[in-house]
Amino acid sequence: MSEEEVDPIVGEFLIESYENLDQLDQDFVTLEEQPTNRDILSGIFRTIHTIKGTSGFLGYSKLEALTHVGENLLSKLRDGELVLVEEMTTALLAMVDSVREILGSIETAGSEPETNYDELAATLSRLLDAEPEQKPRVGDILIEEGKATPEDIAAAVAGQDTGDERPIGQILVGEGVVAQKDVSKALSKQVSSKGQSAADSSIRVDVGLLDKLMNLVGELVLARNQIVQFTSSNAEAELVNASQRLSMITSELQEGVMKTRMQPIGTVWNKLPRVVRDLSVSCHKKINVEMEGKETELDKSLIEAIKDPLTHIVRNAVDHGIETPEVRVAAGKPEEGTMLLHAFHEGGQVNIVISDDGGGIPVEKVKAKALEKGVITPEQAESMADRDVQNLVFNAGFSTAAEVTNISGRGVGMDVVRSNIEKIGGSVEVQSTEGVGSTFKIKIPLTLAIVPALIVSNGGDRFAIPQVNLVELVRLDRGGAVNNIEKVHGTPVYRLRGKLLPLVYLDEVLELGRGSEVEDETDSLNIVVLVADNRQFGLVVSDIHDSQEIVVRPLGKELKEVDVYAGATIMGDGQVALIIDILGMAQRAGMLSTERDRARVDHQDDDSQLEKGDRETLLVFRGPDDSRMAIPLSLVTRLEEFQWSTIERSGTQSVVQYRDEIMPLIEIGDALPERRSTPRSGEGEGAVETVHVVVYSPEGRSVGLVVEEILDIVESSMDVQRPSSRLGVMGSVVLEERVTELLDLPGIVESLNLLPEPEPQQSAEA
């Protein structure tokens, strides 16, 4: 039946009923926790009652009959004659589903379905005859309201037992424990069913109107920014005052309107216990869902956007994460699995953590799967940290195949989860310990429309960098810039507190064509330290302006191809500035390496992406005998320089005091006898004053690898061209047209037995 044929009265009935039914799902969830909450019970009763009334009027007899029995049960629950038990919830939920089914049939076919609902109706009427429930006791109400302590009540009850004939309330008043009016209040609460209804304090507003208001406020913020900028240069006391007031009011208005669009995350979560309940019943699992921070608010559009990813993660956790009761008991865990949803605000972002105490993500299986799918190379698999392996489940390579479900667990459509979350400027990662459980961490912005951003410029062009990605700002004077930016083979890095920070020049990555001028003409250099996909890098810009709230405007379709921009905004002077998508820019600059590389759905790019996915960033250095050697940069914690004089000896081992611990130093010659060279010396001919040391910290303990000179950082394919059988060398690769030996640093450390209890499965905490 097409839309214009639907009777307007029926149409209205459908809309109203759907809306009320959505509310019911939430209500039942709350009810499971507070089975005697009368406000909710009467709300549910009203909804069903309304549907029953209207369906009778419109002549939908099946709907009327079904809702009639439901109403009877609900009315007893509301009046406290019955108390809600699980069986009733199941039956009532089934009734809600059936009502939806009938409504759906009315909407599409114009009539009630053929299905027979007698059985459900019979179940509902059977439940009607269950044992009646007592009214809440006055004493309990008083305790609940904090007017009396359980001890007071117990004393009063004891008094009744020993012959005092007065009611509990009067005993308490007589003892002076509570005031008369509190008892009256408790009594009236005992009798009456509901307090103030929500309808008195809230109204319903069309979301379209709120969106429009939000847009207008955005415009107002722009106009405000313009006026503020103008008045700051044309100061006239009165105008300045007025503009300050305008500025303040605008900010408050902006905040207020944004709040109207805020919804507690509970609105999405409330659907999850039902999902978990249904799913766990069908997989014969027992799962308890706990929620913390339900009231955490975020923008409505974001709530919509995270609904599916969230449901997906939760479903996955039930399906593959939490084990069956038998397996759990065998593993020494409680029979019932626990899933914890936790939301909280932090640093202008909303954090959602979904953790379960299930089986975790099996590293070896994921690794095997990734190798099979060609997502990683065998060399990468060797050197990857467990955590990186587990995060491979977000890789597109894991998504399509259904058989992944029974092989590696998590991973069906997880790439969609990640791309959906990243689409709204958020991020997701997983931490998991095999056999103990998994934790998914989602971070999303509070709102999308207005974001704080840092304005930077290069030449005349201004760009906005979302503050979410910003870590810190570093300003280098001319002298400092020369000393600290090491730029070998065209890959610049800066030692930020001793740690290597890869640098990207804004003018180069955007091909602004003013490359050399920036360095030559200005006497300082600005590095904006950014983080994208958990990696830090520095963006070199010529000027840093202030940070401000910017209104994000989408770009036209013709600009969507360029993933370096997240949108545009209008600056105080009315000019447009582009907002930089840091993730996109980092990718364009080749900053995100190897396993984190996001595979694109774009099939045309498949070949080039694969090629790129095989690459890893390597630290190249000169070893003894002028040999070129390399190790993956991910293994490098820091690069340090020590004075020769600070190196001490402990037994036969060279050590140096480093960060309050004694760090053993490895001479490459010690590990590779064929590379043994003349011992270094701090005296005499050819004396060296400083030693370059690559710090490697497996398991939090540091080891220093002494090298002659740091040469370069290059991104290269890790394909070993000539595998080696020598201990300590993984093989040789050709880097920048020169043969370079790839050191097996973890292997060397292990073979020299420098660290107590060396872990065979080393982790690369870079």
Partner 1 sequence: MRQLCTFYVDDLYLGVGVDKVQEVIRYQRMTGIPLTSNKIEGLINLRGQIVTAIDMRTMLQLPQRPEGKLPMNVILHADDGGALSLLVDEIGDVLELEDARFERPPETLQGVARELIRGAYKLENKLLLIVNSDKIRTESVAA
Report the interface residues with partner 1, using CB under 8 A: 218-219, 222, 461, 510-512, 553-559, 561-562, 564-565, 568, 570, 574-578
Closer to partner 1 by CB, 564 or 718: give it: 564
By beta-carbon proximity to partner 1, the closer residue of 283 and 559 is 559
Tokens for 331?
């593993």
CB of 567 to partner 1, least distance (A): 8
Q: Shortest approach of partner 1 to residue 562 CB, angstroms?
A: 5
- Rounded Cα distance between 182 and 139, Å, is 11
Nearest approach in angstroms of CB 565 to partner 1 is 8
| Closer to partner 1 by Cβ: residue 307 or 553 | 553
Say which residues have a Cβ less than 8 Å from residue 103's Cβ, sequence separation at least 6.
Answer: 14, 17, 18, 21, 63
Residues contacting residue 410 through CB under 8 Å, at least 6 positions apart: 316, 320, 321, 361, 393, 430, 438
In the complex, the smallest distance separating the C-beta of residue 601 from partner 1, rounded to whole angstroms, is 19
Give min distance, CB of 578 to partner 1, in A: 7
- DSSP 3-state of 658: strand
Select 122 or 559, whichever has its Cβ closest to partner 1: 559
In the complex, the smallest distance separating the C-beta of residue 536 from partner 1, rounded to whole angstroms, is: 23
Question: In whole angstroms, how close is the CB of 392 to partner 1 at the nearest point?
Answer: 30
Of the pair 559, 688, the CB lying nearest partner 1 is at 559
For residue 253, the minimal CB distance to partner 1 (Å) is 16
Report the alpha-carbon distance of residue 416 to residue 424 in Å, rounded.
13
Q: Which is closer to partner 1, CB of 427 or CB of 569?
A: 569
Q: Is 623 left (phi over 0), alpha (psi -120 to 50) or beta?
A: beta
SS3 553: strand
Spatial contact of 114 and 121, defined as CB atoms under 8 Å apart: no
CA distances from 283 to 77, 277, 287, 315 (A): 31, 10, 11, 11
CB 566 within 8 A of CB 580: yes
> Which one, 112 or 507, has the nearer CB to partner 1?
507
- Least distance (Å) from partner 1 to the CB of residue 343? 33
Q: Which amino acid is at 26?
A: Q
8 A C-beta contact, residue 566 and residue 424: no
Residue with smaller CB distance to partner 1, 158 or 559: 559
Could you tell me the maximum CA-CA distance found in the chain, to the nearest angstrom?
108
Nearest distance, CB of residue 753 and partner 1, angstroms: 52
Toward partner 1, which CB reaches closer, 242 or 576? 576
Q: Tell me the CA distances in angstroms from 416 to 179, 400, 420, 545, one per residue in order.
A: 60, 10, 6, 37
Contact 301/292 with Cβ under 8 angstroms? no
CB of 511 to partner 1, least distance (A): 6
Nearer to partner 1, 564 or 620 (CB): 564
Residue among 455, 277, 444, 473 at smallest CA distance from 353:
444
Q: Are 452 and 366 in contact (CB under 8 A)?
A: no
Give the nearer residue to partner 1 in terms of CB position, either 96 or 592.
592
DSSP per-residue letters across 109-158 = HSS--S---HHHHHHHHHHHTSPP-PPPPHHHHHHHTTSS-HHHHHHHHH
Query: What is the three-class DSSP state of 706?
Result: strand
DSSP 198: G
Beta carbon nearer to partner 1, 129 or 511: 511
* Cβ atoms 732, 720 nearer than 8 A: yes
Nearest distance from C-beta of residue 441 to partner 1, angstroms? 32
Strand partners, 632: 618
Write 398-402 long-range contacts (CB < 8 A, 24+).
398/369, 398/370, 398/373
